[in-house]
Amino acid sequence: MTSKMARRVFVVGVGMHPFGNEGIPATDMGYVAGVAALDDAGIDFPEVGALYNGYIGGGMMTGVHMAKDLGLTGLPVTHVENASATGSSAFGEAVHAVAGGRVDVAMALGFDDMNRMAGLGRSGRSGLGAEDVMLPAAFFAMWATRRMHEVGTSVETFAAIAAKNWNHARENPMAQRRVDHEMTVEEVLASTMISYPHTSKMACAAGGGAAGAIVASEDVARRLGGPMIEVVASQQRSETYTEGHVFLGAVIGPSQMTRDTAADAYEQAGLGPRDLDMVQVHDAFPVEELVYYELLGICGDGEGDKLVASGETSLGGRIPFSTDGGLTARGHPGGPTGLAQIHETVLQLRGGAGPRQVEGARTGLCHMAGAGSVCVVHILQRA
Amino acid sequence: MLPTDPHLFRLPAEGEDRPRLLGSYAPESDLHFWPRRKRCPVTRTPVQDVELGPVGTLYAWTFLHVPRMGKVSFGDTGGYAVGQVDLPEGVRVQAPLMGSQQDWSIGDEMGLTLFPVGTDDDGQELVTFRFEVVR
């Protein structure tokens, strides 16, 4: 599982359509992100050897239909769906298509609108059965109450993580939630209670958007002449059995899944958590980001709260998390979310993230969890 | 009275005061599971049908006020609680809880109970299961 990639893979282009609630058709946003990624790479669509379209909310043929807008080149188009980790899995498929020698250039595109999707649970019996009651807000809130019980985490710590990510998004033109003032712990706590202890300003922004990335072999990347951003790890896992395993209603699998996927990624990259300059995670709720500090090895178990208090995970800190605002404020449309993390990481590693630039960033990790039990970790590094 | 999910739980039999969850036991791994498994997910060995519960310990909980990231409201119903309950067999069950958030703490003893959710097309009462604090 952790063998080196058969050949080196580089991100040569990224593009996005801003995340938001404007009601623009998802495939139109996907076209914008796709063309932006092509322009960024400096290539035309016929050079793309394979396209992986990630979406949750579209119909059976949406991915192939959407590709017709980019051009009828005959390339293979594959629909990828892995819940919240859809875009990350699509990116992983593109990486492996190049690494394995199937193609020299591959593109991953994510486009979705969370507001137009059905919720979790079985359709047609809403509210009746035991499988219909568990929503992400409740599932991760239970992580939070357990964390409060075991470690003594305060609601202010959760609010501080959310406020940090809102403030990171203020400098991101692609973000869904951009406030004109500094977000405070008090304002986060004063917002509507969704699922104790999570308030609405702690919950990820559900909206629409699109993001894409183009990966290429070393030969192609060198020919294009842009900054060499290498994918040094691409790992994906489902869950393994753990003590207290929850089979029914668990939105994602045991948190051990993140620890294991990250371990695979570190091994593949030949790197460790100390080598990272910045991290993007599935911060659908702040307890996740807090727990991922520990599961990704950034700090010891139970020490995440201190990391928040010291500001080490804020922009300007030792290891900034969710530098573009994260799911909390950049937004979480579904399919594009993981690719927005790649977009942000590539901008940062190129030194092109503007006011939110992480100084000297060379290595970044992207982590996504997906419902049903998916975990995807990529590590990107400026060569 | 009919269970909404007869593959997940059964109604109390005569002389019983609580419903039972329908699980699996794998003799080779000595592990219990809920809901029922086709085979042991750890050892891939055969499993037997068993009944679980009906009393366990509260591991985690929340009270859900506004689902769907704040975009839908329960209105007058005020929401509902959900918890994870550890059963003595080593199974963790996620299910709604009866009551409000002042009623329980992590570590409390919780018992399985029935909760009415309407009627089927023939007018038969439908019930699902929830956990309640055992006093």
Q: Which of B9, B69, B108 best probes binding to A when mutated, by most A CB atoms within 10 angstroms?
A: B69
Kindly identify which residue of chain B lies nearest to residue A245, measuring between CA atoms.
B92
Q: Which of A140, A142, A191, A243 best probes binding to B when mutated, by most B CB atoms within 10 angstroms?
A: A142
B4–chain A nearest CA distance, Å: 6
Please tell me which of the candidates A127, A137, A250 has its beta carbon nearest to residue B94: A250
Residue A129 and residue B66: Cβ atoms within 8 Å? no
- The answer to whether residue B42 neighbours chain A at the CB level (below 8 Å) is yes
Please tell me which of the candidates A194, A249, A250 has its beta carbon nearest to residue B65: A194
Kindly report, residue by residue over B90-107, the tens digit of the pLDDT: 999 999 999 888 899 999
Kindly report, residue by residue over B104-117, the tens digit of the pLDDT: 999 999 999 999 98
Residue A196 and residue B94: Cβ atoms within 8 Å? no
What is the DSSP secondary structure assignment for residue B61, as one 8-state letter?
Answer: E
pLDDT in tens, chain A (383 residues): 567 888 999 999 999 999 999 999 999 999 999 999 999 999 999 999 999 999 999 888 899 999 999 999 999 999 999 999 999 999 999 999 999 999 999 999 999 998 877 654 434 444 444 455 557 888 999 999 999 999 999 999 999 999 999 999 999 999 999 999 999 999 999 998 889 999 999 999 989 999 999 999 999 999 999 999 999 999 999 999 999 999 988 888 889 999 999 999 999 999 999 999 999 999 999 999 999 999 999 999 999 999 999 999 999 999 999 999 999 999 999 999 999 999 999 999 999 999 999 999 999 999 999 988 899 999 999 99
User: Which burial class, exposed, middle or buried, applies to A74 when counting CB atoms under 10 A from its CB (0-12, 13-18, 19+)?
Assistant: exposed
Q: Give the DSSP letter string of A213-241.
A: EEEEEHHHHHHHTS--EEEEEEEEE----
The C-alpha atoms of residue B114 and residue A171 are separated, in whole angstroms, by 51
A88–chain B nearest CA distance, Å: 22
Please tell me which of the candidates A114, A128, A138 has its beta carbon nearest to residue B62: A138
Please tell me which of the candidates B35, B59, B63 has its beta carbon nearest to residue A196: B63
pTM, two decimals, is 0.95
The C-alpha atoms of residue A372 and residue A90 are separated, in whole angstroms, by 17
Residue A146 and residue B65: Cβ atoms within 8 Å? no
Q: Which of A195, A204, A243 best probes binding to B when mutated, by most B CB atoms within 10 angstroms?
A: A195
Phi, psi of B13 (to 5 degrees): -80, 170
Nearest Cα to B41, choosing from B53, B50, B33, B49? B33
Segment B43-64 mean pLDDT? 96
Residues in B closer than 8 angstroms to A198, CB to CB, are 62
- The answer to whether residue B102 neighbours chain A at the CB level (below 8 Å) is no
pLDDT at residue A109, rounded to an integer: 98
Kindly identify which residue of chain B lies nearest to residue A284, measuring between CA atoms.
B69
Contact A210, A16 (CB under 8 A): yes
